[in-house]
A and B are shown apart, each in its own frame.
Chain A
Amino acid sequence: MPKRLLVVGSGTAGLMVANLVARALEGKLQHHEVEITVLGERDDYIYQPGFLYVAFDLMDPRSLVRPVRDLLHPRVHFVHDRAQRVDAESRTVSTEGGVSLPYDYLVIATGSRIRPEEVPGLAEDAHWFYTLDGAVKLREALQDLRGGRIAVSVGIPHKCPVAPVEFTLMLDAWARTRGLRDALEITYTYPVARAHTIPAVAAFAEAEFERREIKVETFFNMESVDTGTHVLHSQEGTDVAYDLLVTVPPHRGDAFGGASGLAGAGDWYPTDRQFLRVQGHDNIFAVGDTTDLPVSKAGSVAHFESEVVADNLVGLLSEGRRPGHTYAGRAFCFIETGLEEATYISFDFQHPPVVPTPSRSIHFFKQTYNQIHWASLKAVI
């Protein structure tokens, strides 16, 4: 009887865990001592960091999408279906398609979802760049832009923590290259006391916003949108009038976690920060956006967490060795600061980030990473 690893989710974390384990245990897969299955409701993978570039017509949306099957190790099974429920007692995951998939070890990598509908009027009147369709629609809106008031309004929690700062700085640079900047008034709103949850990023963003004459409204939690008058109201009582509203909607986990009784508030999985196990379950791991850890919901976090979980799974699947590799909160995020310059932050639980001076070379490194990512996803590099 082979040992069975089931990975729920066909995004960055799910594919990386499956591919890393498959590459480490190729012999065991070949001899049917180990079986790996990925269950995903999407059969195409989308490179989400590309959305930012799509919005400014700097990337072709088609270049961001590849079939999941092409990205998975050939010996990994792929089931294209949506998970419905985990039964931890019988060690099975049932799907909406009526299939029951058994597991010895389970990895939950179901990511996060935008929830614009949580703010009345937001879904009707706002643009966002957090889905491929949304980024394409925003691209069309920006192409038609001739001037006016643009509000960039951020909800918490959301994935890719620096993306709102990047979008706002790229918008400023993009408008300057098109000779539109003087005709635009840009306002950035953020829910907490400063322009970002990470103090170093907040200090950097606030200085850049001031230098570029971008208005900042802090303690601004989106309450409702008046779609008739195009005014965004905050819970704190402040209003922002706009001609174009770009939002980073608040996110939640996949509701399937709640339905399984495993996820907590917000449909995030309570996850132990060292070994990334779902609390109370030694054989269930959570990776990527879906955890409740106090770390950024970002592709790099999914990547670093995947390496830890994959290393531990290799030990468990091959010789029953208990997990020894631990996650230290590692994260790395590029920050585009315009159309030709970028900076980055690198941090973990013990070491808060600093923000280096933006440069062209970091921007080129980011452009290069946009291509390297595909090899990284396949666990080739």
Chain B
Amino acid sequence: MATADRVIDARGSFCPGPLMEMIRAIKTAEVGQVVEVLTSDSGSRTDIPKWAEKAGQELVEVVNGDDGDAILVRKVK
């Protein structure tokens, strides 16, 4: 699993909470940094990768876990 520069635990929050956490974190991150959002909302698995594609950011990894998913996005621009 890739290493994140910043980890946000959004487990327990519902759509659009985890996605908005990712959007806010990428906005303030430096280019090249990786943001990891932990989420228990199943919609995040599709919403965050779709957002990364639209925003031209790099989806690094989606890791499925017992108590939620870890979704990692690198800021590339």
- Give me the interface of A with B, judged by CB distance under 8 Å: 156-157, 191-193, 197, 219, 221, 223, 235-237, 294
Contact = CB atoms under 8 A, between A and B. Distances in A.
Nearest to A157: B20
A197 B20 CA distance: 11
Contact residues of A: prevailing secondary structure: loop
B23 to A, nearest CB: 6
Residues of B in contact with A, size category: 10 to 19
Interface centre among A156, A193, A223 (most CB of B within 10 A): A193
Contact of A294 (B14, B23, B47): B14
A221 B56 CA distance: 14
Given A156-B20, A219-B50, A221-B23, A236 B15 contact: no
A156 B16 contact: yes
B20 A191 contact: yes
Nearest to A292: B13
Contacts, number: 38
B56 A193 contact: no
Contact of A197 (B13, B16, B50): B16
A197 B15 contact: yes
A235 B15 contact: no
Given A192-B20, A236-B55, 12 more contacts: A156-B20, A157-B20, A193-B51, A197-B16, A219-B54, A219-B55, A223-B27, A235-B27, A236-B51, A236-B54, A236-B56, A237-B55
Interface string B34-77: 00000000000011001100111000000000000000000000
Contacts of B20: 156-157, 191-192
B10 to A, nearest CB: 11
Contact of B50 (A156, A191, A193, A237): A193
B7 to A, nearest CB: 15
A121 to B, nearest CB: 16
Interface string B2-15: 00000000000111
Contacts of A221: 23, 27
Contact of A235 (B14, B23, B46, B50): B23
Contact of B51 (A156, A197, A219, A223): A219
Nearest to A192: B16
A236 B57 CA distance: 9
A272 B56 CA distance: 37
Interface centre among B50, B54, B56 (most CB of A within 10 A): B54
B47 A192 contact: yes
B47 A193 contact: yes
B14 to A, nearest CB: 4
Top 6 A-B pairs ranked by shortest CB distance? Answer: A236-B55, A219-B54, A294-B14, A192-B16, A197-B16, A236-B54
A95 B17 CA distance: 33
A148 B55 CA distance: 28
Nearest to A218: B54
Contacts of A157: 20
Contacts of A197: 15-16
Given A219-B51, A235-B27, A236-B56, A294 B13 contact: yes
B56 A237 contact: yes
Contacts of A223: 27
Contacts of A235: 23, 26-27, 55
Nearest to B26: A235
Contacts of B16: 156, 191-192, 197
A169 B14 CA distance: 27
9 contacts: A192-B19, A192-B47, A193-B51, A197-B16, A235-B23, A235-B27, A235-B55, A236-B54, A294-B17
A191 B19 CA distance: 10
B68 to A, nearest CB: 15
